[in-house]
Amino acid sequence: MTNVIITPLDPKKEAQKIIEVFIAAFEKDPLMNYFFGNEYHSLAKYLWQYVDDLTPILDLLLLGAFVESKLQGVAFITPPEVDNTGKQEEVDRLDEQLASAVGEAAIMRMEAYSRIKEANKPKQPHFYLNTLSVIPESQGKGVGKALMAELHKISAAQPQSSGIALDTENEQNLNFYQKLGYSVSTITNLDRVKIWSMFRPQE
């Protein structure tokens, strides 16, 4: 079994490596294809830069999976409570930069996805796994499972967390999450993309 080390990432110091993992992991993802079409390689870097820049502003969480000291996977997580107080100006600035970089059409598709994501979230406080990203050559080697195990520990240590929610647009991912205790709560169609919203209650 591959020896995987999980540790929180510094989005400022490790930005380039984080973005590289995101780009590689989601190259063939249906949702990214919906956002960017055949412009994924030229535009996706702006979305992942946005995620990296937003993380320290809102105290979001990036977990890294290292194999032989090389970053192989990243989990991007929203904790149960996010305090936006005094931060909206910075968030608006990042939103404007992203919109300028990727264009109005991509932003409209992202906003449509975000509305579905928000509508299908549990009402009670929870952790949300926004992305589980493992580079293609490390998939199936326990990297994603190790990241999920760490997230489960973090959620268990948070008294107000009712569990962990996520969504996937890849049907082949369902079995992976179901084996870890997740159940499908809703299935939504976004244009040609099917979205499975899932939840794992806190044990």
The tens digit of pLDDT for each residue in 102-147 reads 999 999 999 999 999 999 999 999 999 999 999 999 999 999 999 9
C-alpha–C-alpha distance, residues 202 and 96, integer Å: 37
φ, ψ dihedrals at 114, nearest 5°: -60, -35
Q: Residues of the chain whose pLDDT is less than 70?
A: 1
What is the pLDDT, as a whole number, of residue 1? 54
Token pair belonging to 159: 């008294």
What is the pLDDT, as a whole number, of residue 84? 81
Residue the block writes with tokens 């937003």:
54
What is the pLDDT, as a whole number, of residue 81? 87
What is the pLDDT, as a whole number, of residue 143? 97
Measured between its terminal Cα atoms, the distance across the chain in Å is: 26
The neighbour count for residue 119, using CB atoms within 10 Å, is: 10
